[in-house]
Amino acid sequence: MEGGEVERRGPLGGDLKGMTAGGSGRLRTVTKDITQTKKMTANALGAVSTTGAVLLSLATNDVVKFAASATTAGKEVDYQDATAFEVGQVTAGGPFGANLDGITTSATGRVRLQAVTGDITDTTALTGQVPGAWPRTSSGSP
């Protein structure tokens, strides 16, 4: 997909076949999970799943800034990037009526982040279950 906004409503989740956005990419699904089968590239990537999980874990993703929300009990945010990235703010626009800040899950939702090379920096809040030391680098050290 070229461009930047995707919104899915109804019984289908969002299974993305890849995305390239020069600015911000904004993904939102009302039901089911957000998943991917190809690389995502963007300056900023935001993903909101109202009732599902955000599962964007391909090691080829290349995003500068990432934010996500999966607030249904037990649903997780899982993101992996090929290089260093920042957990930050994705500005409102397209399917986002307001800015998306950091990463939010329910009290029972897990947050998993990994940068294959480089570090993960955080300029906003993380809420939910964040296992172990965070952020982690590709070597697994905090």
pLDDT digits (tens, 9 = 90+) for 13-42: 444 444 555 567 777 887 889 888 888 888
CA–CA–CA angle 93, 76, 100 (5° rounding): 20
Please count the CA atoms within 13 angstroms of the CA of 71 that sit on its side-chain side.
10
Average pLDDT, the chain: 77
Average pLDDT, integer, range 96-118: 88
The SS3 of residue 78 is strand
Within a 13 Å sphere around the CA of 125, how many CA atoms are in the beta-carbon half? 7
Percent of the chain exceeding pLDDT 70 equals 73
120: pLDDT strictly greater than 80: yes
Q: ∠ CA 75-112-65 to the nearest 5 degrees?
A: 105
b/e per residue, 24-44, with b = 16+ CB within 10 A?
A: bbbbbbbebbbbbeebbbbeb
> In whole angstroms, what is the distance from residue 64 CA to residue 81 CA?
9
pLDDT band at 123 (very low <50, low <70, confident <90, very high): confident
State the first-to-last Cα distance of the chain, in angstroms, to the nearest integer.
34
Q: Which amino acid is at 27?
A: L
- Using the predicted structure, report yes or no on whether residue 141 has a pLDDT greater than 70: no
List the single range of 40-44, 71-75, 122-126 with lowest mean pLDDT: 122-126
| Span 34-60, average pLDDT | 90
Averaged pLDDT, 68-95: 90
Q: Residue 140 pLDDT > 70, yes or no?
A: no
